[in-house]
Amino acid sequence: MSLIDTVIPAGEPWIGTIRRGQILRIVDLEGNQAVDTLFYNALDTAEHYSAQNTIQAQRGIYLTTGTVLMTNRGRPLLEIGEDTCGRHDTLGGACSAESNTVRYALEKRHMHNCRDSFLLALTRHDDETGPRLTKRDLPSNINFFMNVPVTPAGGLRFADGISAAGRYVELRALMDVLVLISNCPQLNNPCNAFNPTPVRVITRESA
């Protein structure tokens, strides 16, 4: 599998495959850019990243160095290595046209959003080795570089980002992994500092 080095412009999706043992680096090029991401077992996409299995396994909600991303079948999928941001979210999910009408205003339905990007990417991913993915295959995702603190009183909010230009996170694939990314186009909350920007995705073989 050839190595990847690509820039995903603001608001665009990306889909690709990485092999077991390869390291995926996601770079927040300009700072405070949410990168909505899903991972699937590339050989059997009914097995995929599970937010609840992951936070249950580590008994904690924030993702950072040492976090093992778990599948819905309770198996290790990827492990987070170097992380110069320090905290990533997996409770906030992806924005959608429909949730934007609830969160902001009924008139916001037209605005570009992560679920539309996910669905568009899936229409382009015509994998002859298996069934095409659909909305049915969109579980709760990871938001790299996004800051969603939860309080002991049970509150939750989308806070100002803690990332900055050039910060990155690395993940080592523990199986062959299909990666689905939406570089978030949200303009209604601070998850992209109200200014969506490009991110870079790089893979390399582990040393």
User: From residue 19 to residue 58, what is the string marking binding to another protein with x (rule CB under 8 A)?
Assistant: ---------------------------x---xxxx-xx--
Phi, psi of 22 (to 5 degrees): -75, 155
Contact yes or no for 21/202 (Cβ under 8 A): no
Size of the site for another protein (CB under 8 A): 43
What is each CA distance from 62 to 5, 13, 104, 207, in whole angstroms?
27, 24, 26, 27
Contact yes or no for 34/148 (Cβ under 8 A): no
Cα–Cα distance, 112 to 193 (Å, whole number): 16
For residue 130, the minimal CB distance to another protein (Å) is 12
Indicate the residue among 152 and 207 with the shorter CB distance to another protein.
152
> CB within 8 A of 18, min separation 6: which ones?
1, 4, 24, 173, 176, 177, 179, 203
Site for another protein in 126-155 (CB under 8 A): 135-137, 139-140, 148, 150-152, 154-155
Indicate the residue among 131 and 207 with the shorter CB distance to another protein.
131
Among 85, 94, 180, 199, binds another protein (CB under 8 A): 94
List residues near another protein by CB under 8 A.
46, 50-53, 55-56, 59-62, 72-74, 87, 91-94, 96-99, 101-103, 105-106, 115, 135-137, 139-140, 148, 150-152, 154-158
